[in-house]
Structure 1
Amino acid sequence: MFILLCMHKDHDGLRAQFYRERAELEAEYQKVYNNMYNEVSCVIASLLDRNMKTNDSEAVNQGVDAPEEKGVPNFWLHALVNQDLLDAEISIRDGEALKYLTDIKWLRKGDRKGFILEFCFNKNPLFKNSILTKTYQLLDEDETILHKAIGIEIEWYPENCLTKECESFFNFFNPLQIDEKAEQEFIEDMR
């Protein structure tokens, strides 16, 4: 029996080492990803600058003001509607709101058992929030079992709520209901 306990302790030690090393590797790759994302932003900005200069010269020649739009117009809206799983979820009204979306970020939670999605928006006529978040809490370090998914409450301006009595992409930010009984059974089976 003592040998089995020692082997179990060794196993737990290896597992802990694995998670430490995996966290270090993920952090290393996250830096590489961030550098790549920054490069993509620079390329998009340079393309925009080139387009803006063309638009400026055309505007001067036509005697009108150049557009003030920055970034690639509707980039995130196009990115989302071109995802097979999301396209059906985005209504025309949602699309109008998603035109104000400027960035989507994935952030690791400090406890390593979850992550946060941040949707960053420019000021818009539909809601007050500049950032909408969805936080995913996981039960295990393997990141396979969802414990909770908590969305932020959207502060809609009066008469502009896109989720009232209808399907909307913005329902994504509602809390995800987890079957507490099934979760408890899973935890007990893990013991």
Structure 2
Amino acid sequence: MSRTILDMSISLDGFIAGPHETVDHGLGDGGQRLHDWGMPRDATGAYLEGGLGDVDAEMMAAYESVGASVCGRGTVDPAGGWGGEAYGGPPVFIYARRPPAPGELRWPKFTYIQTIEEAIGAAKEAAGDADVVVQGAGTGQAALTAGLLDEIQLHVVPLLLRDGRRLFDLPGGAPIDLDLVQVRQGVALHLRYAVGRSH
């Protein structure tokens, strides 16, 4: 059965990117370290082939079975559209409350949708029985607030960024229960929660 899963790498103090984010510096200062558990680099910053432990390798391999993803422009634009015209992954639906203006970055292989409900609905239709992965702070918060997430998967990195973009910077409201489904220990601590109801 298809699930809609917010999937993010996060520092122990709750950040998904460091300070001073720009389109050319999308993860901010120090933020790239949040992804070293699954995409290790050498001293020059070049990505290494292999070298992952069993648990981290399993977590990375799971992305190959994703049916579609939903993210915001703050996630996809700094990533260069994950190859732009060369992108060959599952369908991507970009939650963009306004369409890109002429001259702004726009990735032609991706679908831009203005409401989170429509974006996740389109992704679920495209994914069929496969899972939909949601990524990004704004998109994740919108999906969680709208009650559209089945699970949250966090890859907690042993790092205190101290500043940057928080994943859960939610407005006030009722608490949301989470039920722990899985814990796996690799370089990161991989936690998966089922999203319960608000109180």
Give the TM interval when normalised to the shorter protein.
under 0.3
Larger radius of gyration between Structure 1 and Structure 2: 1
* Structure with a larger share of its residues in strand: 2
TM-score computed with the length of structure 1 as normaliser:
0.25
